[in-house]
Each structure stands twice: as structure tokens, then as C-alpha cells.
Amino acid sequence: MTFGARLHAAIADRGPFCVGIDPHAALLTDWGLADDVGGLETFALTVVEAVAPHVSVVKPQSAFYERFGSRGIAVLERVIADSRAAGALVLLDVKRGDIGSTSQAYADAYLDPSSPLAADAVTASPFLGFGSLDPMIDTARRHDAGVFVLALTSNKEGPEVQHARIDGDGTVAGRVCDHLRRLNDGAAPLGSFGAVVGATIGSTDEDLAFNGPILAPGFGAQGGTVADVRRIFGSATVLPSSSREVLRLGPDLDAMRDCVLRTNDELRS
């Protein structure tokens, strides 16, 4: 099955809520853990145990594992493997963007099943030109994986690039969506190439109907609400994503699990 088909089925089965597994140093402290590899491993695998059997998608942020070097990457490999074993799709948040052979190397690292870091999908930056992502797109197609491309992020610096106009013919964000529309043309039930659009952007005039999924970070503790998701995205297939909303409840497994189930019920309603 393509990533789009797997995601469509997972959302129907488990709901659209996406949980970020982001071991911030402050969260490790709040959990009473040391800010070291041991604390990282305890934190990350506890979150996997609590949420991965109940959500359609988990989204580990690679940077929080990379900061511990090779031993941190080993924990990330375990998070990916254990999450998938529990039935969750893994969207690895790496936001890579480069050209040529380097872009291909990133694709091989994150999307080729022979890699221990291979996930179901990754995030990517198109701001070296959308064509710079071709190695990732091609590798994703070859291995039935997915790519979520930054389009309308909710950070205050984003509009400087994303709202810029291209020769009077729409915005950079709009052009990203146009490329996704082309990539997903004819895919059923859902394309495998999505956009990252913040749940806290307020509103947009961009056409978000590109037959692919939307990752919507900023949901929950960062201010995005169920009403915002409905208003901004309408009938699009959207993955509202939150980390702190769930992780602050740890290390209580039941509390994290109940938060996930409750949030999915609210989003489904």
C-alpha cells in the first residue's frame, strides 16, 4: 500500500491525532529524569508505550535525539521500530532540504527500508526550490513512503519567505501546494505527499485541496483548537499534531493514553 492509503486507513481506524515524541530537556526534568541518554530512553519509550497503540501517527523530532550523538540516534531507531510494532505510522520530523546527492543521502537514510532510521514519512523543506526534493519524492514513491513539505508554518519568521509573491503569480506557499497537487494527481484514496500548515496560522487564502494530507503542528498547548482545525482546513485530511499537550502528563501512562483517546474523540466529533 502507498503511504497515502496506509494513512487513510489508519485515520479511519484510530483517528487523526498525531503525537510528537519530543524529549525537550525541560520535559525530562519535569519527569524527574536526567538530561542524558538514559533519561532520553526512559522518556521516549514510555511515551511510545502510552500512545503508539492508540494513535494513527507519531512524530519524533530528530533533533532531540541527535543532540545525544550516536547513542541518541540508537534511541530514535528504537522509537521508530517500537512505534511501528504497536501499529502507529511514524512521521520522522527532520525538515531536511538539500540538493543532488546530499538530498538522495537523506532520502536513503529516512525512507529506504534497509536503513535502521527508515520511517513511513518525513518532513522536508522546499526552500532550495521544490525540484531539490526530487530525490526524496522519487525514493518515497519507490518505497511507498510519504513526504510532508513545509508550506505555511506558524512561526513568526515564516511569512518572509512563504508569503512572498512569485512574479505576480501567487505566493511561494501557493506554489508548494501546486507542486503537491501535481504529485498527488489521480491518487486514491489519498496522495502520499502532504504539506505542513500550522494550526495557529489564523486563516489563509491558499488552496489547500491538493489530494494529500496536511500536518498541522501547533495544536493543543500551542494554541490551536478543534474549532481552528475545522475552520482552516475544512474537509481536508489533516493530522493535528501536539507534543506538550500529551507529554506534560507523563510519566503517567494512563493519563497520556486518556488524553490521546479524548482528543481523537473531539476531533472525530
Q: Would you call 59 a catalytic residue per the annotation? A: no
Q: Are 208 and 233 in contact (CB under 8 A)?
A: yes
Q: Are 245 and 220 in contact (CB under 8 A)?
A: yes
Distance CA 248, CA 238 (A): 23
| Helices 253-268/37-51 angle, 10° precision | 50
- Catalytic residue, from 78, 95, 143, 248: name it: 95
Distance CA 86, CA 54 (A): 8
- At residue 159, the 3 state secondary structure works out as helix
**What does the radius of gyration of the chain's CA atoms come to, in whole angstroms?**
18
Q: Are 16 and 238 in contact (CB under 8 A)?
A: yes
Q: Are 206 and 236 in contact (CB under 8 A)?
A: no
Place of cell 528504537: 78
Distance CA 237, CA 215 (A): 9
Burial zone of 166 (CB within 10 Å; 0-12 exposed, 13-18 middle, 19+ buried): exposed
User: Catalytic residue numbers?
Assistant: 95
